[in-house]
């Protein structure tokens, strides 16, 4: 579980709720007016309809999984990948047979595939080209999720404005006398609450989720670039000290280790 995401959302909702309660209490008004199923339907339903038009159906159907993924934590540290590459480099210097026997202990499938290519006799340029191509297209696939969240973040306020126009139409129709002040109040409430819902959905949920996905894409790409370099160094049968010093370039200095 990504605690930061959960804390951020709960804190945002708590502050919004606290602000509503405080403002309503000061004005002697109730807070129930902020609960409007019709306004939520306009904003959320319209937003989903928009992304269904903008994206392939398969991407839209995976929306729930994409949202769930933003709550999944990652305890990975770049330094652990350097340690593993150094350990493999030590074994690889003994020979291909020893390296092949080590493959079963390598947990990261991307690194394991790169090492398998070393065992199978691929050239260094071939290994680099294949693995970097995988990185590029993984980024393309994952950026589709970020784009989906960005679109939802952009569409939510727009549908809030649609709800505002609907509320204004209802409010103005009240001047005809059919609904009286009740129609005026209902129309103004719908006009403002839909804008409120759209802003909250965009700025507390979907735009931050897009940023979260983007940062994870970058972090995963850094890990995989490190492992590509590690596979190349192992292919070259570099000494573990050299492997560590080279791969330390990818990680924060506080995670650096030195060979004794």
Mean pLDDT by 10 residues, the chain (260 residues): 84 92 82 84 92 90 85 78 93 91 91 94 94 95 91 93 84 63 63 89 93 91 94 93 92 72
- Per-residue pLDDT reduced to its tens digit, 214-238: 999 999 999 999 999 999 999 999 9
pLDDT score of 115: 94
Listing DSSP states for 66-134 in one string gives HHHHTT------HHHHHHHHHHHHHHHTT-HHHHHHHGGG---HHHHHHHHHHHTT--HHHHHHHHHHH
pLDDT of residue 201: 94
CB atoms within 10 A of CB 95: 11
pLDDT of residue 131: 96
Overall pTM > 0.85: no
Sign (positive or negative) of CA dihedral 12, 15, 18, 24: negative
Q: What pLDDT does 182 receive?
A: 59
Contact present, 112 and 100 (Cβ < 8 Å): no
What CA–CA distance (Å, rounded) separates 194 from 150? 19
How many Å apart are CA 8 and CA 87, to the nearest integer? Answer: 38
The separation between CA 74 and the C-alpha centre of its own chain, rounded to angstroms, equals 12
pLDDT for the residue numbered 176: 58
CB-CB neighbours of 21 under 10 Å:
12
Collapsed DSSP state (helix, strand, coil) of residue 71: coil
């Amino acid at each position: 579980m990504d605690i930061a995401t959960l804390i951020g959302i709960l804190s945002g909702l708590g502050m919004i709720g606290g602000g509503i309660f405080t403002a309503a209490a000061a004005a002697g008004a109730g807070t129930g007016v902020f609960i409007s199923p019709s306004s939520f339907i306009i904003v959320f339903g319209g937003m989903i309809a928009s992304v269904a038009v903008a994206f392939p159906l398969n991407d839209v159907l995976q929306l729930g999984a994409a949202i769930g993924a933003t709550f999944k934590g990652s305890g990975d540290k770049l330094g652990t990948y350097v340690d593993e590459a150094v350990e493999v480099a030590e074994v690889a210097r003994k020979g291909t047979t020893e390296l092949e026997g080590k493959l079963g202990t390598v947990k990261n499938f991307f690194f394991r595939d790169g090492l398998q290519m070393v065992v199978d006799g691929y050239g260094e340029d071939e290994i680099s080209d294949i693995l970097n191509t995988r990185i590029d297209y993984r980024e393309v696939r994952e950026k589709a999720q970020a784009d989906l969240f960005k679109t939802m973040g952009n569409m939510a306020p727009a549908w809030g404005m649609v709800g505002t126009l609907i509320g204004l139409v209802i409010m103005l129709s009240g001047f005809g006398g059919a609904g009286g002040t009740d129609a005026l109040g209902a129309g103004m409430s719908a006009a403002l609450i839909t804008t409120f819902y759209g802003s909250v959905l965009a700025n507390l949920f979907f735009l931050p989720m897009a940023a979260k996905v983007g940062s994870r894409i970058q972090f995963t790409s850094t890990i995989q670039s490190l492992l590509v370099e590690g596979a190349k160094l192992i292919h070259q049968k570099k000494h573990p000290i050299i492997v560590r010093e080279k791969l330390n370039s990818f990680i924060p200095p506080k995670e650096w280790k030195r060979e004794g």
